[in-house]
Structure 1
Amino acid sequence: MKLMEGLDTAVELVSVTKLYAHGVTALDDVTIGFRHGTFTAVMGPSGSGKSTLLQCAAGLDKATSGQVRVDGRDLTSLSERKLTLLRRNRIGFVFQAFNLLPSLTAAQNVGLPMRLAGRRPDRDVVRHSLAAVGLEDRADHRPAELSGGQQQRVAIARALVTRPAVLFGDEPTGALDTNTTRDVLRLLRSLVDKHAQTVVMVTHDPAAAAYADRVVFLADGRICGELADPTAEAVASRMLALEESC
């Protein structure tokens, strides 16, 4: 797969390989780009390298070789301090676990990245982030007073508060029920459609992947295909074929 040279890409991985101890190859010479304002789902069998791809792309893990560029910056050439600043300011990450501080209100949780950066949280920016996920009226509620779906929305608002170039999600709906999952996926879809947010999401759920513009499939640490304008049925069929071949 050729690099998307010259296109409006938010994230690029160029010949990225990630090796772990005992000779385990999590990613094997992966080259792929994610365009600004698009929603991409990443899928593959267990152990295919999905989460490693996401973590390397987000600068949470370091590639053994190759280049990772986010918003035009080469992560592999940055010092640890500059990489930390880039992650804090230009990269949003949402996990399956909400990771909210129980003693803080929704607004305080959303403003936490600003405090960690040594800045006073901007109330208008925090309010705008909560409004973007439909929770402006829950700003003073603590996590225990919110549903699981609302807690994940707060986590998404926290990831958005720095206006990141890309929002990564590692199974962001994995802990939610079916109806709440649908609400969160619609939210991610609307962030792309209304605000041109770039979203890259790892999921195992074909129905979740169908909300994306395209699905990228991994197997044994390599890109093994893509699907544009996916349907749940088409994704499920492709996944079944992948799992049977592994």
Structure 2
Amino acid sequence: MTDDGIRLDSVTRRFGSGSTSVTALDDVSLVFPSGTFTAVMGPSGSGKSTLLQCAAGLDRPTSGSVTVGGTELTALSETKLTLLRRERIGFVFQAFNLLPSLTAEQNVALPLRLAGRRPKRAQVREALQQVGLGDRARHRPTELSGGQQQRVALARALITRPDVLFGDEPTGALDSRTGRDVLALLRGTVDRDGQTIVMVTHDPVAASCADRVVFLVDGRVHGELSGAAAEDIAAHMTRLEAKPEAEPQSESEAKLQDQPEAAPC
């Protein structure tokens, strides 16, 4: 990937038309560099999930462009976009989305099979070992805890070695201790493997594991924090929720730098 792993240029996404139209993203420009971990936060209805969907090629913006690893998504046909998502993008959601009839190793191997590739058992076992489930390969989802299921989902997302991993509230369905274990795994893929991660979350503790946090309000970027502790992130969110009508900050004002503190991951 290029240094600018993911780039959004003047991305706007509107739903509906005329007087009933809703603008979910309003002229958003952002860069998510390769090998970094970015959290996206904002009040309910701020456009977080729409941003993720447009950046991941799951939705097309009304205007503007999205580029992943030098490839502009908005210029691709649906077929080429599907192939790009399959080969270069991974997803982890709040819902684990595991097939109940398949074992952990079969669930992990599924993306390779869908891509017409024959998965090697050693490769699948290595992916499970990476998330601490090497001894659970033959267990079905009902035989695994919620945290273990999410780790299987993470192994499934990483098995194709994607350029970028998108997470939509990946710890939202987990208790705090299990959630921190999953966050530590995500953080490890960035530090150890140079993985690029963009994660939507409402949790300041989860966001504190990221290199930076980008804030959205009413579909527009309202600043970012780098290396911030959970308390600083929570305080910034409180200010945004108290004044959702505030004008977006300038680029210089947006980069609110805090001294890094120890994160839970």
TM tier, smaller: over 0.9
Q: What's the counterpart of residue 178 of structure 2?
A: 180
CA distance in 2, matches of 1:123, 1:70: 30
Q: What's the counterpart of residue 3 of structure 1?
A: none
Q: What's the counterpart of residue 109 of structure 2?
A: 111
Q: Which SS does the other structure have where 1:223 is aligned?
A: strand
Say whether residues 1:100 and 2:98 are aligned partners: yes
Query: What's the CA shift for 1:91?
Result: 0.3
CA distance in 1, matches of 2:82, 2:122: 25
Q: What's the counterpart of residue 169 of structure 1?
A: 167
Q: Which amino acid aligns with 2:107?
A: N
Query: What's the CA shift for 1:77?
Result: 0.4
CA distance in 2, matches of 1:123, 1:87: 23
2:140 to 139, 142, 161: 142
Q: Trace 1:53-202 onto structure 2 (pairs within 5 A).
A: 53-202=51-200
CA offsets 1:140-173 (integer angstroms, 9 cap, x no match) = 1111111100100000111111100000000000
Q: What's the counterpart of residue 257 of structure 2?
A: none
Q: What's the counterpart of residue 207 of structure 1?
A: 205
Query: What's the CA shift for 1:128?
Result: 2.1
Q: Which runs of 4+ in 1 moved over 6 A?
A: none
Q: Which SS does the other structure have where 2:222 is aligned?
A: strand
Q: What's the counterpart of residue 11 of structure 2?
A: 16
CA offsets 1:114-153 (integer angstroms, 9 cap, x no match) = 1111222222321222122111221111111111001000
Say whether residues 1:227 and 2:217 are aligned partners: no
TM normalised by structure 1 equals: 0.96
Percentage identity across paired residues of the two chains: 70
Q: Which amino acid aligns with 2:229?
A: T
CA distance in 1, matches of 2:151, 2:114: 20
Query: What's the CA shift for 1:71?
Result: 1.3
Q: Which runs of 5+ in 1 are unaligned?
A: 1-6
Query: What's the CA shift for 1:36?
Result: 1.0
2:37 to 23, 36, 39: 39
Greater shift, 191-200 or 115-124, is seen at 115-124
Q: Which SS does the other structure have where 2:58 is aligned?
A: coil
Q: Which runs of 5+ in 2 are unaligned?
A: 245-265
Larger radius of gyration: 2
Higher relative contact order (CA 8 A, sep 6+): 1
Greater shift, 123-132 or 226-235, is seen at 123-132
CA distance in 2, matches of 1:82, 1:56: 15
Q: Which amino acid aligns with 1:8?
A: D
Q: Which amino acid aligns with 1:13?
A: L
Q: Which amino acid aligns with 2:184?
A: R
CA distance in 1, matches of 2:159, 2:5: 18
CA distance in 1, matches of 2:219, 2:120: 41
Q: What's the counterpart of residue 214 of structure 2?
A: 216
Q: CA RMSD in A?
A: 0.9
CA distance in 2, matches of 1:125, 1:19: 42
